[in-house]
């Protein structure tokens, strides 16, 4: 009797979770197998992590701050790091930024979660660059938003009206995830103008800034927003800018930041307090030690040539083996090549099964798509593995494509 009661079904999970999937975890699990070549993740090269520098920074951070960084933090984060970030942004943009414009987060991912909580009620509209970073879609799923794709050409006549209804626009102008595209300065300015006219927010997610493979990307939308302002006072523009040390130092510190007008920072901070009380001042103080001596820039300069070589190895092998079926642009920064099936001949969801058999992982386009329509591209990473392993991965991908095509021809023959 007690046992029967024990087995009574417990309450169901919330609606959003029932419609969710664990695709990220699946990719991480499969991609982490030793015999698999993973071109799936968005991970830095682990062998380049500056372990000794982090260790030295941990020692000096604890010597410098002592028990202060053993505490719950101010929810906004370590004041000195917020000041450093504000000073950098002020120097880069010419704007008036102080610590009041900066919130430290658990990577940029937490910033996305907080933005969704602060701004979105169920059914409300997000205009998002499409295809869209999977993590952003995941972060906002509990808020049950609706979506409209951001067309960077800004030619759609209905777009301005839609923008008036949007809670915010989501964009990754530098080497976007998943497409690797660098958005032109003209398009940045044109979008900003429309955002200002519509009176909405503009999230500029910039995790890949430090991975500049072929020259500088030029000013951020935040910079343009500063230039647009007629007020000399504190920044009060619509851009909510997201940065991180995950690519320029190490992801394991889990240090990211939001730069925005002070009222938005207050709302995000209040929401962060309700999410985890505060981040770790210890890891923030380690980031401070390294960023104070510009080690993040120095380290980025060291890893960029390595990533460039890996990108080139990927593209060379792909030109040989995948160009009959896929096409792509050469990414000038970031971590990804976006391979589109020519004439939509290959369904990359269906292909995945064959890739698993060949022990190679990529990310199919469907997971980046809030419309669920795009099943004809794949995101291929080039930062995680050596040129040799990447080339082997491409060869496995090519075999997977051939098996996929044979299997489909057999099916069509049978039909």
Q: ∠ at Cα 83 (80, 89), nearest 5°?
A: 145
Among residues 165 and 353, whose Cβ is nearest to a second copy?
165
Q: Is 270 exposed, middle or buried (0-12, 13-18, 19+ CB in 10 A)?
A: middle
Rank residues 384 and 396 by Cβ distance to a second copy and give the closer one.
384
Q: How far is the CB of 138 from a second copy (least distance, A)?
A: 4
Tokens 């809670």 — which residue? 167
Question: Closest CB to a second copy among 178 and 238?
Answer: 238
Rounded Cα distance, 172 and 374, in Å? 19
302, 133, 130, 393: CA torsion to nearest 10: 60
> Which residue in the block uniquely carries the two structure tokens 């619509």?
238
Minimum distance, C-beta of residue 316 to a second copy, in the bound complex (Å): 28
Q: For a second copy, give the closer residue by CB, 87 or 270.
A: 270
State in angstroms the smallest separation of the CB of 321 from a second copy: 30
State in angstroms the smallest separation of the CB of 342 from a second copy: 33
User: Each residue of 287-326: b (16+ CB within 10 Å) or e?
Assistant: bbbbbeeebbeebbeebbeebbebbebbbebbeebbeebb
Nearer to a second copy among residue 3 and residue 153 (C-beta): 3
**Minimum CB–partner distance for residue 112 and a second copy (Å):** 9
Angle between helices 51-65 and 281-292 (to 10 degrees): 110
- CB nearer to a second copy: give 30 or 312: 30
Q: Write down the least CB distance from residue 46 to a second copy, Å.
A: 5
The continuous run of DSSP H or E covering 52 comes out as helix 51-65
Nearer to a second copy, 66 or 157 (CB): 66
Which residues have CB under 8 Å from 245's CB, separation 6+?
Answer: 253, 255, 256, 287, 290, 291, 296
Nearest-approach distance from CB 93 to a second copy, in angstroms: 16
- Residue owning tokens 């530098």: 174
């Amino acid at each position: 009797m007690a046992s029967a009661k024990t087995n009574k079904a417990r309450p169901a999970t919330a609606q959003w979770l029932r419609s969710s999937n664990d695709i990220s975890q699946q990719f991480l699990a499969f991609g982490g197998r030793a015999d698999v070549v993973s071109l799936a993740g968005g991970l830095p090269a682990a062998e380049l992590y500056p372990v000794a520098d982090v260790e030295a920074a941990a020692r000096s951070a604890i010597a410098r701050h002592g028990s202060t960084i053993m505490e719950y933090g101010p929810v906004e984060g370590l004041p000195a790091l917020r000041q450093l970030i504000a000073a950098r942004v002020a120097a880069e943009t010419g704007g008036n930024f102080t610590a009041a414009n900066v919130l430290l987060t658990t990577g940029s991912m937490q910033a996305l979660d907080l933005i969704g909580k602060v701004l979105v009620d169920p059914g409300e509209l997000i205009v998002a660059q499409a295809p869209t970073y999977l993590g952003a879609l995941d972060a906002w799923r509990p808020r049950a938003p609706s979506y409209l794709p951001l067309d960077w050409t800004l030619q759609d006549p209905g777009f301005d009206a839609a923008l008036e209804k949007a809670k915010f626009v989501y964009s990754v102008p530098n080497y976007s995830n998943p497409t690797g595209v660098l958005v032109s300065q003209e398009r940045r300015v044109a979008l900003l103008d429309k955002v200002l006219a519509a009176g909405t927010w503009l999230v500029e997610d910039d995790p890949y800034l430090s991975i500049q493979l072929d020259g500088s990307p030029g000013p951020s939308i935040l910079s343009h927003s500063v230039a647009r302002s007629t007020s000399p006072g504190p920044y009060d523009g619509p851009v909510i800018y997201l940065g991180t040390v995950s690519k320029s130092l190490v992801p394991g510190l889990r240090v990211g930041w939001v730069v925005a007008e002070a009222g938005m920072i207050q709302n995000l901070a209040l929401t962060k307090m309700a999410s985890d009380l505060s981040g770790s001042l210890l890891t923030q103080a380690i980031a401070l030690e390294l960023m104070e001596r510009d080690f993040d820039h120095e380290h980025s300069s060291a890893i960029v040539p390595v990533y460039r070589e890996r990108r080139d190895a990927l593209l060379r092998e792909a030109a040989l083996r995948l160009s009959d079926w896929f096409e792509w642009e050469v990414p000038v920064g970031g971590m990804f090549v976006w391979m589109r099936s020519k004439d939509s001949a290959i369904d990359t969801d269906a292909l995945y099964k064959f890739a698993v058999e060949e022990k190679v992982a990529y990310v199919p386009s469907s997971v980046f798509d809030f419309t669920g329509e795009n099943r004809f591209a794949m995101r291929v990473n080039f930062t995680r593995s050596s040129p040799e392993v990447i080339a082997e991965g491409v060869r496995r991908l090519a075999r997977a494509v051939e098996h996929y095509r044979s299997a489909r021809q057999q099916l069509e023959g049978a039909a």
